Amino acid sequence: MTMLYFDFNATTPMSHKSKMAIQDVLDQFANPSSRYRLSNHLITLIHQAKESVSQLVGGLPERIIFTSGGTESNNLALHSVFGQLPAGQLSRYHAICSAIEHSSILEPLRWYQKQGLKLTIIEPSKTGRIDLDTLCNAITPQTCFIALMAINNETGVIQPYDELAYRLKGKGIHLHCDAIQAVGKWPIRCFDDIPLTISFSGHKFYAPKGVGGLYYSQQVKIYPLLHGGGQEQGLRSGTENTLGIAGLAAAAEEANEKLIQRFDYCREMRVYLLTQLDKLGVNYHLNGETNPEYQAPWTLNISFPGIRAEALASRLDLCHGISVSLGSACSNNSQTPQRSHVLLAMQSPHSYIDSALRISFGHVTEWKAINVLANALQQETQHLLSISGEQKI
């Protein structure tokens, strides 16, 4: 059975160029912090990698810190704000975030809230987008931090982070943008005239797992999470993951060259998949934005009324070799199954949440795979509805 992958928001396969870049440095084993010529190539590699990534995120290379990935980058951004505040005085400060942020933003903020931080969580519209007027109306004189992601990982809804950055000019409020689902796939703008951090993760755009980074503007003072060896200008201690960084740089160069081409390809695929489902008479409901300007085309959060998503995903996997997600891959690590916090925040009916699949693809997805997916969805939704007594076939 041919395995077909439709969970690119969870992770992507490494590109050939990324693999070759890693292979080229497999024998370069020296520690980049060492002071002999054997390390020189790796020191140069790290500097060049920051140049490549900076072109992708639109910032200065010296303001990029390499990390182990998105979760560490998000926590480092939060720690750089709240870790520097006077002990026992968090109650004097206020933070704002959206209800649809990734758990690596929401959980640390809730922890700080337990320590006294005042926290306002902004609910999205029913299509999953944050209203900036609502968010900005929540700003108080004590507000020191706002988190708004670039693109939601479950729905693919594009958030107005760049417009928010304009509104925050001159206010001195730190804006953090979780751009993990955007960098490498969507144009990201850096703003150096406000306190700003932007997180990204390599394995979301065809680089290896275990490497990512954090961009910080000149108005941000990074407060390290990890102390010790003093790597990354003392901002992130730990011997650099040179293999991962090499692969990340190669993937960043590819993404920068082909960003628009890949975006257009995914947009065409999205339209084609929905057209095929309509032709096949599949009953579905899209969770997310209907305005394509606000919707990442590579992500479909789609409900199949009357069907349990777990059953549908299982049958797609076992009977057709098709991999799809029930939502965020990280949420699958929860000890107890929980409804999507994103869809709940969007006030989606429980029947839609319980029947929702996240289908995501990339530029390496083939057209014939879309046909196989559409036909499999038609076959399995009919089968599951028939055994539930809701539809006869």
Max avg pLDDT among 66-75, 77-86, 222-231: 66-75
From 79-93, 100-114, 201-215, the region with the lowest mean pLDDT: 79-93
Query: In the structure, what pLDDT confidence band is assigned to residue 87 with cuts at 50, 70 and 90?
Result: confident
pLDDT of 78 strictly over 60: yes
Query: Can you give the pLDDT at residue 393?
Result: 39
**72 has pLDDT over 90:** yes
How would you label 308-325 residue by residue, b for 16+ Cβ within 10 Å and e otherwise? ebeebbebbeeebebebb
In whole angstroms, give the CA distance from residue 73 to residue 198: 8
pTM recorded for the entire structure? 0.95
| 3-class DSSP state of 269 | helix
Average pLDDT over residues 113-134: 97
Per-residue model confidence (pLDDT) at position 114: 94
Q: What is the pLDDT of residues 19-52, one digit of tens each?
A: 999 999 999 999 898 888 888 999 999 999 999 9
Residue 253 phi, psi dihedral angles, 5° rounding: -65, -45
User: Hunting for tokens 């968010």 — which residue is that?
Assistant: 135
Q: What CA–CA distance (Å, rounded) separates 107 from 214?
A: 19
- Could you give the residue numbers annotated as active site? 330
